[in-house]
Amino acid sequence: MNVPRSVLVSVLLPLSSLPAAGPITSLTAPYPVFGEIERLDPALDALLAPDATMVKLAEGFNWSEGPVWMKQEQQLVFSDVPENIAYRWREGHGVDVFLNPSGFTGDAYDGRERGSNGLATDREGRLLLSQHGNRQIARLNPDGKTFTTVADRFEGKRFNSPNDLVLDRQGNLFFTDPPYGLGPGSPVEIDFHGVYRVTPAGVVTLVSKELERPNGVALSPDEQTLYVANSHGPRPIIMAFDLAPDGTAGPGRVFFDGTELRKTRRGAFDGMRVDAQGNLWATGPGGVLIINAQGKHLGTLLTGQNTGNCTFGEDGSVLYVMADMYLVRIATKTRGQGF
C-alpha cells in the first residue's frame, strides 16, 4: 500500500483499522526501492547524497515500532506492538522472532496494543523496553525471556502505558506515558499523560504533563534539550524542554509545528532520533521529517505510510525506518548520536 506523493491523505488511521500481521517476508539484496525523498533545503545535501534511496528489507508486520540497533550483536531489534512480539533483523539472515511475549506477560488483556513499543540499550548493552501491556519500563534479563522492572509507578500509581524512552550518558532515563496501551477495562490511575525521568537509583520524577499524547522522545547531542513528540491529532507538534545539569526541565516550547503538514499528509509525530550534528529525524506527517537544530524542515523521507519510528544503525550512518507494515532503511552522510 505505497501511497503516491500526489495522493497522500490527511487522515491518521487508527491502529484498529490496520490489517492483521503476516506473513512476515524477509527480502534479499538487491533490496527494492521504497518511497521517495522530498528535498526542501540545499542543506539536506550534507545529510543525504543526491542519489540516496530508501529500500525495503521486510514486510508483513501489523504495526512495526520502537527499533534499536544492538551494536555488540550487530542486529536491529524492533517491536510489533499489537502482536506482542519483538523481532530482530540481521543482514544476510532477514527477520526472526527475538522475544515473544515482548510487552504483556499476564493472563487477560482487553486492549489492542499490548506489546513492547520503544526500545533502547543501557550502558551495559542490555535491552530496555517500554511495555504497554505490563505498564512499565523493563529490562530484559540474561535468560532472554524474563524482565526486571525499572519503573512502573509514579507516586504509587501505575503508569498508563509507557511508549518511548531515551537514556542520557549518566544513565538517567526519560520516557513518555500516553494511554495507547490501555484497554477498555484497564484501570486508569494517573489522570494525565506525562513525560518522566528515572534516575539510575530508580527515582521517578515528572518532567511535564502539558502534552495530550506525549510519544517519541530524544535528546540533543549536548543533552541540554529534551525533544518530545505530541501525537495528538489537533496539536501535532514537537516540544523542546531545556534541561538543567541535575536533569530537571524548564517549561516546554514548541520546536516544530506540523499542523499545516498534517492537513495533506498521513501520519502523526511519533518516534525520532537525533544525529551527531543535532538534526532531528522525526517520524510524522508524510514519513520521516529531517529538521535541523534551529527547527527548520530540510526535507522528508516520504514513505506513504503511517510511520512509527526510526533509528540509526550499523556504523551509525544507516537509518532504519519502521513504516507501518514495512521495515526500510537508507544510507545517510551523517551519523546517529552515540556512534
- At residue 5, the pLDDT reads 27
CA gap 303, 337 in Å, rounded? 23
- At residue 247, the pLDDT reads 80
- At residue 143, the pLDDT reads 97
- At residue 21, the pLDDT reads 65
- At residue 14, the pLDDT reads 37
CA gap 288, 107 in Å, rounded? 36
- At residue 248, the pLDDT reads 85
- DSSP annotation of 20 reads P
What DSSP string runs through 32-78?
A: PEESEEEE-SGGGGGTS-TT--EEEEEE--SSEEEEEEETTTTEEEE
- At residue 246, the pLDDT reads 82
Question: Do residues 303 and 41 touch, judged by C-beta distance below 8 A?
Answer: no
Full pLDDT tens readout for the chain, 339 residues = 232 222 222 223 334 344 456 799 999 999 999 999 999 999 999 999 999 999 999 999 999 999 999 999 999 999 999 999 999 999 999 999 999 999 999 999 999 999 999 999 999 999 999 999 999 999 999 999 999 999 999 999 999 999 999 999 999 999 999 999 999 999 999 999 999 999 999 999 999 999 999 999 999 999 999 999 999 999 999 999 999 988 889 899 999 999 999 999 999 999 999 999 999 999 999 999 999 999 999 999 999 999 999 999 999 999 999 999 999 999 999 999 999
CA gap 67, 221 in Å, rounded? 19
Domain ranges of the chain: 23-331
Fold of 23-331: Neuraminidase (2.120.10)
- At residue 37, the pLDDT reads 98
Sorted by sequence, the CB contacts under 8 Å of residue 178 that are 6+ apart come out as: 160, 161, 163, 193, 213, 214, 215, 231
Question: Do residues 152 and 204 touch, judged by C-beta distance below 8 A?
Answer: no
